[in-house]
Amino acid sequence: MPGFELFGESEKSQVQQVLDTGVLMRYGFDGMRNNQWKALELEKALASRMGTKHAQLVSSGTAALTVALVSAGVGAGDEVLVPTFTFVASFESILAIGAVPILVDVDDTLTLDPIAVEKAITPRTKVVMPVHMCGSMADLKALKNICTKYNLLLVEDACQAIGGSYDGKPLGSYGDLGCFSFDYVKTITCGEGGAIITDTDEYLKNADHYSDHGHDHVGKDRGAETHPFLGYNFRISELNAAVGCAQLQRLDEFLEIQKKHYTILRKSIEPLSGVTFRRVPIGGVENYSFLSFFLPRQEVAEQVNLALSNAGVDACFYWFDNNWHYYRKWDHLTNLTSLGKLPQEVIQQLPDYSKADFSKSDEWIGRTISCLIKLSWTEEQVHNRAQKMRTVLSKFL
């Protein structure tokens, strides 16, 4: 991770095919495009890879989450349960449609704790949104059972976990809807882009229309198309989709490299007393984009993180103090800092997160370090890194 590390001739070839036509928009200009439909090509390939009936490309992972929620009828005042450990896009997408993000504790999977999820459900709850952070997944079976019990939607934010699986199903395909990001630092990239996958025809139709100003895409005259409902512009370009066409074909190659590098690093530090690893639910397979491990106490994790950096072990993350991925630094959410007026439903229903008790999350995240697994490392670099990590950790354990 990420796919841009191994850009090559296949990506260049796909992009050149689009440039040769001069048609950069995914819709229209049929006569000019020489039968090049990169967005459609990638949607078909992605649905096939994920084992779903449908895939809809959009402009980003954030757009994918927004469009997925809207396509299932989520709107003003509906509550969406999200983890305390995620990227800000998760709650941004919820706020964008007037819905209310309800933060919920994580457990040793570093994702939603099913016990905490069930406790957080109210009559206004509409969606449970597990976020498969750092390449591994939530306990999806438990969450699915809760959703069935309370008639809730299960929407998977798999933006960081493409290529992983649970119970034999690709991540993103287990719930009612799944979302991916193809931004520049994801396992496979379009430069910018995202996607929604689903087996539900209605959700696909809604996503298709909503992401293109409500166009119904009936017929071949774009100007004559009708607008069954309001929409917005979340379209992906043909250039971005072309990069994705090449990268998706290389996903297995990337996963194999990631697993190899991950395994070398894990085996190096696994024997150390005091090092434990995030729990992968039974039946789950990571995509190996991060190696996440726990240390005995928060102060040890803080010291080790600094020591790793000083030793030249880059791309290791101590999420507890991270501005973007953990609730403790989300002051703009806590204070509802916005450029414009927010919906009354959000103002009235959002909990006071300045007083929230997420000590269970703090216990796990405070002891966690996650190391990015790079595709471009040589074998020598991986082994040197493994030795440095073992040396540093040994000094504190």
Query: What's the pTM?
Result: 0.97
Query: Alpha helices, DSSP H only, in 217-352?
Result: 238-249, 251-269, 298-310, 331-334, 344-349
Task: List the end-to-end C-alpha distance of the chain, in Å, as a whole number.
Answer: 29
Q: How many residues does this entry show for the chain? A: 397
**CA gap 256, 362 in Å, rounded:** 33
CATH of the domain at 88: 3.40.640.10
Would you tell me the crossing angle of helices 61-71 and 89-96 to the nearest 10 degrees?
A: 40
Q: What are the backbone dihedrals phi and psi of residue 177, each rounded to the nearest 5 degrees, phi first?
A: -145, 150
Residues 199 and 297 in one domain: no
- As a whole number of Å, the CA-based R_g of the chain is 21
Query: Alpha helices, DSSP H only, in the chain?
Result: 9-21, 38-50, 61-71, 89-96, 114-120, 140-150, 201-210, 238-249, 251-269, 298-310, 331-334, 344-349, 359-365, 379-396
Domain boundary among 250, 281, 296: 250
Residues 211 and 293 in one domain: no
Residues 267 and 244 in one domain: no
**pLDDT tens digits for 233-265?**
999 999 999 999 999 999 999 999 999 999 999
Q: Would you call the peptide bond into 296 cis, given omega within 30 degrees of 0 as the criterion?
A: no
Query: Which residues of the chain are modeled with pLDDT < 50?
Result: none
- Do the Cβ atoms of 71 and 40 come closer than 8 Å? no
How far apart, in Å, are the Cα atoms of 67 and each of 80, 260, 291? 14, 35, 31
Residues 180 and 242 in one domain: yes
Amino acid at 94: I
**What is the structure's pLDDT at 72?**
98
- Do the Cβ atoms of 103 and 259 come closer than 8 Å? no
Residues 271 and 203 in one domain: no
Contacts of 378 (CB under 8 A, 6+ apart): none
**pLDDT tens digits for 25-58?**
999 999 999 999 999 999 999 999 999 999 999 9
The number of domains in the chain is 2
**CA gap 385, 397 in Å, rounded:** 18
Burial class (CB in 10 A: 0-12, 13-18, 19+), 203: buried
Amino acid at 362: D
Domain that holds residue 347: 252-396
Percent of the chain with pLDDT over 70: 100
Residues 207 and 308 in one domain: no
Residues 143 and 258 in one domain: no
Q: What are the backbone dihedrals phi and psi of residue 22, each rounded to the nearest 5 degrees, phi first?
A: 80, 5
**What is the structure's pLDDT at 120?**
98
Closest CA to 179 of 171, 187, 190: 171
Residues 286 and 158 in one domain: no
Domain boundary among 250, 272, 292: 250
Residues 227 and 332 in one domain: no
**What is the structure's pLDDT at 56?**
98
CATH of the domain at 345: 3.90.1150.10
**CA gap 397, 389 in Å, rounded:** 12
Residues 154 and 196 in one domain: yes
Residues 241 and 292 in one domain: no
Residues 179 and 276 in one domain: no
**What is the structure's pLDDT at 1?**
85
